[in-house]
Structures are given as structure tokens and as C-alpha cells.
Structure 1
Amino acid sequence: MVNRFLKKLYSFLIYLFLYAPILILIIFSFNNSKSRGSWGGFTLKWYGALFKDSQIMSALYYTITVAVTSSIIATLIGTAAAIGIYSMNRKQKNIVMNLTYIPVLNADIVTGISLMILFIFIKLPLGFMTLLIAHITFNIPYVILSVLPKLKQLDNNLYEAALDLGATPWYALWKVIIPEIMPGIITGALLAFTLSIDDFVISFFTTGSGVSNLSIIIYSMARRGIKPKINALSTLMFITVLSLLFIINSRTNKNSQRKEDVI
């Protein structure tokens, strides 16, 4: 009984340490005072000021555009790559999977600097296109790792049965395989979108003047001193990412429950 209480207390303190700063940030985004040391009453004016800031709105536009576009392209490429990897023999699959894990485990700063050097080497001007390519690049492995488990759960006879019934390979892929792995595809797309919105380091090294996402804008604003608008912006970003994570976890739990019910 005592051990269980200590474990729960320990877990509570860990989560409190992790999330207390975020909770304080959210609370002070509604503070009427600019001071971070005193409470001046409840207000929504900082959210209003946030949406009137042209610099932040421009960054929001680039953030959403890059996140949506990169997640769609990365999902298409990652899904095709996952199907190709699944069809390989064991030796080839191990080699490709090891290469796939490298961008996931690699430090963001290494990836960001490497991509920046590559863009400069091929004389591609840093800007929106390089930022988009960078986000597609680091999103693809996460999509592959989301789709592959669903492919492994497939009955190997489904595809062959569709071909025996007269379906073409493309029709069998589109009507049989894709619907079966759709939960993994959606999870990969949401994960890619979340990572794209959240990224700072890789974006910092691969973007050019005039093109900034919200993470870069927050960093540049914070260097001049934390303003209440940053609290409001950070709160909205946190809620957005948290909502997407809830959707991902909810879909994962539903799929697991359906599988248990079938079994």
C-alpha cells in the first residue's frame, strides 16, 4: 500500500514538474497586466492583439501552409515507401529500416545544418521551398513507421485473393490494401502535421529572409523579452498540438479495441 502511494506521488511530482510551467504560461496569457509577477485581472486582449499582429499572422500562414503541404506529400511518399519496404526480403528490409531510423534518432541540429549545406551546395535559395522540402524530409520516416505496423497486421492472402477475383494490382492496392492500413496512414499524417507545426531547429537553418514559422517568430520575440502576446500564441500552439495528440491516441485506442473485439 505504501509503495503504491509512493509510486503515485512520484509520478504526480514528475508530471507536475513537466506541466506546471505550461499551466502558468496559459494562466498568464489571460493576465491583464504586462507584468509576469502580478495578476492584473482576467482579459482576452492579448489574443486580440495577437491576431492583429501582421508578423505573427504571416508566420501563422507559413506554418499552416508548410504543415499541411508537407504532411500530405510526406504521407503519400511514406505510405508508398512503407508498402515497398514491406514487400522486400528480410535483409533488404533491415538495411532500409536502419536507414529510416537514422533521421528519427539523429539530432535536429545535425539534420538542419546538413540540409542547409545541401541547399547551398545545389544553389537552391533558402526560403519557402527549402523549408517545405526540409519538413517533408524529416516527416517521411514517421509516416513509414506509422504505416508499417498496419501492413504487418494484414492477412497476406487478401491481396492475392483480390487478384484471383480479377482485380488489377492497382485496383487491389486501392480497394483492398489502402482501406486496411488507413488508420496507420491517418496517424502518420497527423503526426507529420504535429511535428511540422512544432519544429524550430530544422526550420531555423533551412528558411530564408521573409519566411518564418511560428516557432522562429516566438524565438525572435522572446530574445527581446517575453510579451503577453507570446503567452497567448504559445497557448494556442499547445492546445493545437495537444488536440492532435488526443486524436492520434483516440484512433489508436479505437483500433486496438476493434481488434480485440474481433479476436
Structure 2
Amino acid sequence: MVGKIIKKVYTFLVYAFLYAPIVVLIIFSFNNSKSRAHWDGFTFKWYGELLKDRQILRALYYTLAVAALSSIVATVIGTISAIGIYKMKGFSKKAILNINYLPILNPDIVTGVALMSLFIFIKFQLGFITMLLAHITFNIPYVILSVLPKLKQMPKNITEAAMDLGATPTYTLRKVILPQIKQGIISGFLIAFTLSIDDFVISFFTTGSGVSNLSITIYSMARRGINPKINALSTLMFLVVLILLIIINIRDKRERDIKNEKF
């Protein structure tokens, strides 16, 4: 009995430690005062100011554009790569998997400096394209690691069975393999999209003048003091992510229910 109470208290403290700062941030995004020391009344004005801030809106545009494009490209490349790796055997497969782990284990600052040095070496002007290429580069390994487990869960010899029945390789890929690994592809895309929006270090080293994502913009604003508009922006980003997670969970639950009904 005492052990259960201790576990519940410990769990509560962990979640409180994780989410209390977010709750405080959300509350003070509605504070009429710029000061976080006292409450001066409820207001939506900081959200209105946020929508009028051209710097933040421009950063939001670049953030969403880079995140969407890099996630789509990384998902396509990562899915194709995962299928290829899955078909490999022996030492070559282990070598490729170990190489795939390197960008994930590598510190972001090393990856950022390395990509910046590469772009400068090949005389590629830093800007939107270089940031996009950098995000595609660090997103691909995560997509591969999301898709590979779903490939391993496929029934053995299912592709050979489909081709024995007359299906072409392209048709087998579209109608047999992709439906089986769809959840892994979606998960990989969402991970890539989230990492792209969240990234600061690699973006900081691979962007050029006039191109800034939200992480860089918030960092620049925070150096001059916490602006309530940052609280409003962070609140909106948190709510968007929360809504996406709820939608995904509802969708997954419906699919599981449909599968259970079939069996």
C-alpha cells in the first residue's frame, strides 16, 4: 500500500516538474502586464500583437515551409532507404545501420558546423535552401528508424507471394508493402516535422541573413528580455502539437477497433 502511494506521488512530481512551466507560460500569455512578477488582469492583446509582428510571422512562414518540405522529402527518401536496408543482409546491412545511427548520436553542434563548412566549401550561399537541405539530412535517419520496425512486422514472403500471383514490383510496392508500413511512414513524417520545427542549433549554423525560423527568432528576442508575445507564440505552438497528438491517437484507436472487429 505504501509502495503504491510513493509511486503515485513520484509520478505526480515528475509530471508536475515537466508541465508546471508550460502551465505558467500559458497563464502569463494572458497577463495584461509585461512583468511576470504580478498578475494585472486577463487579456488577449499579446495574441493580437503577435499577429501584427512581421518578424515573427516571417519566421513562422520559414519554419512551416522548411518543416513541411524537409519532412516530405525526408519521408520519401527515408522510406525508400528503409525498404532497401530491409532487403540487405549480412555485414553490409549492419554497416549501413551503424552509419544511419551516426547523425542521431552526433551532437547537433557538430552536425551544424559540418554542414556549414560543407556549404561554404562548395560556395553555396547560406539561406533558405541550405537550411532546407540541412533539415532533410538530419530527418532522414529518424524516418528510416520509424519505418524499419514496420517492415520487420510484415508477414514473411508476402512480397514474393504477391509477385508469384502476377503483381509487378511497382504494384507490389504500392498495394502490398506501403499499406503494411503506413503507420511507420506517418510516424516518421510526424517525427521529422516536429524535429524540424524544434531545431535551433543546426538551423543557426546553416541559415543566412534574412532567413530565420521560430527557434532563432525566439532566441534573439529572449536575449533582450522575455516578451509576452513569446509566451503567446509558445502557447499556440503547444496547443497545435496537442491537437495533432489527440487527432493521431483517435485515428489510431479507430484503426485498432476496425482491425479487432475484423478478427
* TM-score (ref. length: structure 1): 0.94
Q: Specify the alignment match of 2:71 in structure 1.
A: 71
Match for 1:50: what amino acid? L
1:119 equivalent to 2:129? Answer: no
Q: Specify the alignment match of 2:180 in structure 1.
A: 180
Bigger mean CA offset, 53-62 vs 166-175: 166-175
Change (3 A) 1:120 1:152: same
CA distance in 2, matches of 1:213, 1:188: 22
Q: Specify the alignment match of 2:238 in structure 1.
A: 238
1:167 equivalent to 2:181? Answer: no
1:87 equivalent to 2:87? Answer: yes
Change (3 A) 1:194 1:155: same
Change (3 A) 1:234 1:102: same
Whether the aligned pair in 2 keeps the contact of 1:144 and 1:188 (CA below 8 Å) is: yes
Bigger mean CA offset, 123-132 vs 241-250: 241-250
CA distance in 2, matches of 1:133, 1:68: 12
Match for 1:242: what amino acid? L
1:100 equivalent to 2:97? Answer: no
Q: Deviations over 1:182-225 (max 9, x none)?
A: 11111111111111111111111110110000111000000011
Shift of 1:241: 2.9
Shift of 1:133: 0.3
* TM-score (ref. length: structure 2): 0.94
Change (3 A) 1:243 1:35: same
Q: Specify the alignment match of 1:5 in structure 2.
A: 5
Match for 1:30: what amino acid? F
1:128 equivalent to 2:122? Answer: no
CA distance in 1, matches of 2:52, 2:181: 42
CA distance in 2, matches of 1:21, 1:262: 44
The alignment's C-alpha RMSD in Å is 1.9
Shift of 1:104: 1.3
Whether the aligned pair in 2 keeps the contact of 1:60 and 1:214 (CA below 8 Å) is: yes
Shift of 1:247: 4.7
Whether the aligned pair in 2 keeps the contact of 1:187 and 1:248 (CA below 8 Å) is: no
1:41 equivalent to 2:41? Answer: yes
CA distance in 1, matches of 2:85, 2:43: 53
Q: Deviations over 1:70-90 (max 9, x none)?
A: 000000000000000000003
CA distance in 2, matches of 1:128, 1:176: 37
Alignment of 1:141-160 (within 5 A): 141-160=141-160
Change (3 A) 1:84 1:258: farther
Bigger mean CA offset, 128-137 vs 153-162: 153-162
**SS state of the match for residue 181, structure 2?**
helix
Shift of 1:254: 6.3
Shift of 1:156: 2.3
Match for 1:57: what amino acid? L
Q: Specify the alignment match of 1:213 in structure 2.
A: 213
Whether the aligned pair in 2 keeps the contact of 1:26 and 1:232 (CA below 8 Å) is: yes
CA distance in 2, matches of 1:262, 1:175: 19
Shift of 1:243: 3.4
CA distance in 1, matches of 2:93, 2:256: 26
Change (3 A) 1:241 1:37: same
Change (3 A) 1:129 1:122: same
CA distance in 1, matches of 2:94, 2:135: 25
1:57 equivalent to 2:57? Answer: yes
Bigger mean CA offset, 22-31 vs 250-259: 250-259
Bigger mean CA offset, 233-242 vs 182-191: 233-242
Whether the aligned pair in 2 keeps the contact of 1:71 and 1:139 (CA below 8 Å) is: yes
Match for 2:138: what amino acid? F
CA distance in 1, matches of 2:37, 2:146: 44
Whether the aligned pair in 2 keeps the contact of 1:194 and 1:244 (CA below 8 Å) is: no
Match for 1:148: what amino acid? L
**SS state of the match for residue 208, structure 2?**
coil
Q: Deviations over 1:19-38 (max 9, x none)?
A: 11111011000111111111
Match for 2:137: what amino acid? T
**Where does the alignment leave 5 or more consecutive residues of structure 1 unmatched?**
none
CA distance in 2, matches of 1:253, 1:105: 32
